[in-house]
Copies of this chain bind each other. A is one copy, B any other.
Amino acid sequence: MPGNTDLLTLQTPCLLLDEARLRANVARMKAHLDSLGVAFRPHLKTAKSLDVARIAMPSSAGPATISTLREAEYFAAGGVCDMIYAVGIAPAKLGRVSAIRASGADLAVILDSVEQADAVAAHAARSGDAIPALIEVDADGHRSGVAPTDTATLVAIGRRVVSGGAELRGVLLHAGDSYALNDPAAIAQAAEAERVAAVTAAEALRNAGLPCPVVSVGATPTARYARDLTGVTEVRAGVFMFGDLYQAGVSSVAMGDLVLSVLATVIGHQKAKGWIIADAGWMALSRDRSTAKQAVDQGYGVVCDLAGQPYPDLIVADANQEHGIIALRKGSTATLPDLPVGSRIRILTNHACATGAQYDRYHVLDGAGGISAIWPRINGW
């Protein structure tokens, strides 16, 4: 247990952030992308914090990727002036996009339909704001995007964007299906497929005489395991900064690199059942149960001591809103640790994006088990 008493006195549950691990994760990703000769545009949807953004971004002004216009407003107010809003644009959001751009931030949008291109073009013509737009291209059937070989649609969208005086800035892909892979070689293959799709789409636009300066790809797994990114100009990734049990389960991060943990307090026991009850339920840990489909189901989280070391086989086996039911993994031969009422524990969780969203601040761990800072974060839209 650390000598510092901060972790014994904080009100629980609260969210701890290991700054040294965060910096190491960012440095590793930056070095990898530097070695591939591509720019890095970190995704801030996981952290939603200016303090974290300034560690992750190449400069305090960006570039960055964001997932909500609330993030765009918050980061723009904090001096980030190069952002892509990486969710297909709804026409009714274009006024808000222009307001953020008028505040000085170069905020770009993405789209994958002629309908959206018409809306962006009409807005640009009406407002005089040449909103930059990237065409979303479908890397792997995961979600949105134009098929990379659908040249007719790509070109039609590109022509509509520029027709109204908006700016066609390039193509953007997200190899979301790579999250389901757990073998570095398979992920590298997914990264190569993402690259090929990106380059194919970019060439289709250029062959039609349209500009395509930006070729943007990324997802945490493909960013980490890509071996060659020829033709790509930038990579986006976000959850890698923090990692989580799901990412660890697919080998995308190591357990020892996980940045976030929830500090909780033991509030009871059901000894006959082998249960320890803590004051961190699904509200504190999130409802995310994504490890349920993995080889090792981590329940609602892995229970650690205050130094961050997991207790053998001890997980949050079930959770109510403000109660975590801690028990040994089924079939375990380990011994339930002696954790009297009032004991403090740290819980690693399944999904950093979902857990983070339950909090309005990070308690930043220094190297000695104390709290060195509180970093605010935002939520909502």
Q: Which residues of A contact B (CB under 8 A)?
A: 8-9, 11-14, 45, 67-69, 87-93, 96, 112-113, 115-116, 119, 138, 141, 143-144, 176, 265-270, 273, 277, 279, 282-284, 286-289, 320-323, 325, 340-342, 351, 353-354, 357-360, 379-381
Contact = CB atoms under 8 A, between A and B. Distances in A.
Contact of A380 (B69, B116, B176, B359): B359
A287 B319 CA distance: 14
Contacts of A277: 88, 143-144
B354 A357 contact: no
A144 to B, nearest CB: 5
A374 to B, nearest CB: 13
Contacts of A279: 87-88, 90
A353 B287 CA distance: 11
18 contacts: A8-B92, A14-B381, A67-B322, A68-B322, A90-B342, A92-B265, A115-B340, A115-B342, A116-B267, A119-B341, A119-B342, A144-B268, A144-B277, A282-B354, A283-B354, A283-B357, A286-B287, A321-B353
B87 A267 contact: yes
B113 A381 contact: no
Contacts of A380: 358-360
A116 B265 CA distance: 13
Given A90-B267, A92-B9, A144 B287 contact: no
A144 B381 contact: no
Nearest to A278: B90
Given A143-B277, A354-B282, A322 B45 contact: yes
Contacts of A288: 287
Contacts of A89: 267
Contacts of A69: 11
Given A284-B381, A286-B287, 14 more contacts: A9-B92, A14-B381, A67-B283, A67-B321, A67-B322, A68-B322, A88-B268, A88-B279, A90-B341, A113-B269, A176-B320, A283-B357, A287-B288, A358-B380
Nearest to A319: B143
A93 B9 CA distance: 10
A93 B11 contact: yes
Contacts of A289: 287, 289
A351 B45 CA distance: 23
